Amino acid sequence: MDLITPCLWFDGDAEEAAAFYTGLFPDSRIVEVGHYTESTPGETGSVMIVVFELGGRRFTALNGGPQFPFTEAISLQIDCASQEEIDRYWDALIAEGGEPSVCGWCKDRFGLSWQVVPRRFNEIMSEADGDTAERVMAAVMKMRKIDLAEIERAAAPAAA
């Protein structure tokens, strides 16, 4: 069991969100669904919490109401090995009411922010000299969904 479990606050659609997320990511599952009772503040019998795992990491989804909507102040980052993974996650997350943003960020239809990032971007940035990092960041800043081939082109040594 994880020592720290992120709890995501939803406005009534925690179970739907958990089902969507666990269907999207490998090694994922719904662990438990708990319901409001007569002694809790929600409607008796409705879903209160959903405990689920994404990629083996545990999360709790709470149907807490409209008081605390998601903001971009927190996001979940997806480490993608290929452009195909980037495309698959990006397209699924922005489908049915999600919203694309910039630099690989998007919101899903539940309002949760995600960063769909190629692993190669982090590798390039950790190895890059100042000029290369500047070219790569300039390229990424112009993107919505990340284009891995464009990042590689930006990282290539400048022609002499």
Tens digits of residue pLDDT in 103-135? 999 999 999 999 999 999 999 999 988 999 999
Domains by residue range for the chain, with CATH: 7-63 (3.30.720.100), 75-155 (3.10.180.10)
SS (H, E, C) the chain: CCCCCCEEEECCCHHHHHHHHHHHCCCCEEEEEEECCCCCCCCCCCEEEEEEEECCEEEEEEECCCCCCCCCCCEEEEEECCHHHHHHHHHHHHHHHCEECCCCEEECCCCCEEEEEEHHHHHHHHHCCHHHHHHHHHHHHCCCCCCHHHHHHHHCCCCC
Confidence of residue 160 (pLDDT cuts 50, 70, 90): very low
- pLDDT (tens digit per residue) in 19-71: 999 999 999 999 999 999 999 988 999 999 999 999 999 999 999 999 999 99
Q: What is the pLDDT of residue 159?
A: 46
